[in-house]
Amino acid sequence: MTGPIRLLLADDQALVRGALAALLSLEPDLDVVAEVGRGDEVRDAALRARPDVALLDVEMPGMDGIAATAALREAVPSCRVLVVTTFGRPGYLRRAMEAGASGFVVKDTPARQLADAVRRVHEGLRVVDPTLAAETLATGRSPLTERETEVLRAARDGGTAADLARKLHLSEGTVRNHLSAAIGKTGARTRAGAVRVAEENGWLLGEGDRS
């Protein structure tokens, strides 16, 4: 008889992480062997604890959950990844799967369904929130170029075009051009609207987004 499925939990909210650990530990075939609160702690924790399945949040300090997924899959290929997040954004799902995740569910998934998702991922199956999967197919990939994405990330904190130009080491004209293109591609009317649309679709998470 094989032992319980070994789990690693990564979430920067201690209360959420503790609640997940408590709920999953009630299942006789699941065993939480490691917990971390930062994305850049996932790889080393997995090397130490050798979990079978890692449940990762998306937005964490140090390293986002998608980058952590890729690092974990490279370091411990036998460990499967289930992304469990508050933010059910289509862009996150697509990028998580591309990084090597086996599943993607939202945090309000009932405990029994979450435990079942863990078991299915452990068996080598893919588990994806059906509503989010449909939204991802409908939305498609991000229409933004890498530079447009970078400019919109910088624009989230406000500031003038001159402020953004200094921050990104670009000319003010170049920043205005990228903002204009991003506004057009997102169908927004303003810079703030373009940021909101890109955020809602999960297009801004990535390199340089470590808060």
| Residue-wise pLDDT tens digits, 26-38 | 999 999 999 999 9
Q: Are 38 and 14 a contacting pair, CB within 8 Å?
A: no
| Residues 72 and 167 placed together within one structural domain of the fold | no
pLDDT in tens, 136-176: 555 567 788 888 889 988 998 888 889 899 989 999 889 88
With a cut of 50, say whether residue 209 has pLDDT above it.
no
Model pLDDT, residue 133: 62
> Do 164 and 95 share a structural domain?
no
Cα separation of the two ends of the chain: 43
Which of these, 130, 163, 160, 144, lies nearest to 205 by C-alpha position? 144
Residue 208 scores a pLDDT above 60? no
Residues 79 and 124 placed together within one structural domain of the fold: yes
* Integer angstrom CA distances of residue 92 from 78, 173, 198, 202: 23, 31, 11, 5
For residue 30, what pLDDT is reported? 96
Q: Are residues 23 and 69 in the same domain?
A: yes
Give a yes or no: residue 190 inside a domain. Answer: yes
**Of residues 2, 7, 125, 23, the one with CA closest to residue 72:** 7
DSSP-derived secondary structure letter, 89? -
Percent of all residues in the chain with a pLDDT value above 90, rounded to a whole number: 44
Q: How confident is the model at residue 211 (pLDDT cuts 50, 70, 90)?
A: very low
> Residues of the chain with pLDDT > 70: what percent?
91
Q: Is residue 175 part of a domain?
A: yes
Query: Count of alpha carbons within 13 Å of 192, Cβ hemisphere only?
Result: 4
Same domain, 11 and 108: yes
Specify whether 91 is located in the same domain as 171. Answer: no
Mean pLDDT calculated for residue range 187-208: 78
DSSP string over 70-87: HHHHHH-TT-EEEEEES-
Q: Are the C-beta atoms of residues 105 and 84 closer than 8 Å to each other?
A: yes
The parent domain of residue 170 ranges over: 146-200
Instruction: Examine the domain organization and report whether 18 and 106 are in the same domain.
Output: yes
Q: Among residues 139, 159, 192, which one ends one of the domains?
A: 139
pLDDT at 210 over 50: no
**pLDDT tens digit sequence for 3-19:** 899 999 999 999 989 99
CA 110-114-117 angle, 5° bins? 140
Q: Residue 180 has what pLDDT?
A: 87
Q: Give the CA dihedral 200, 63, 117, 6, nearest 10 degrees.
A: -170
Number of domains in the chain: 2
Q: For residues 204 and 131, which has the higher predicted lDDT (pLDDT)?
A: 204
| H runs (alpha helix) in the chain | 14-25, 42-49, 65-75, 90-99, 111-122, 130-139, 146-155, 161-168, 172-186, 191-200
| Residue ending a domain, choose from 123, 139, 155 | 139
Is 169 within a domain?
Answer: yes
Which pTM was predicted? 0.67
- Reported confidence tier of residue 88, pLDDT bands at 50, 70, 90: low
Cα dihedral across residues 158, 159, 162, 168: positive or negative: negative
How many Cβ atoms from other residues are within 10 Å of residue 180's Cβ?
13
* Section 186-205 average pLDDT: 82
152 and 55 inside one domain: no
Regarding whether 164 and 126 lie in a shared domain, the answer is: no
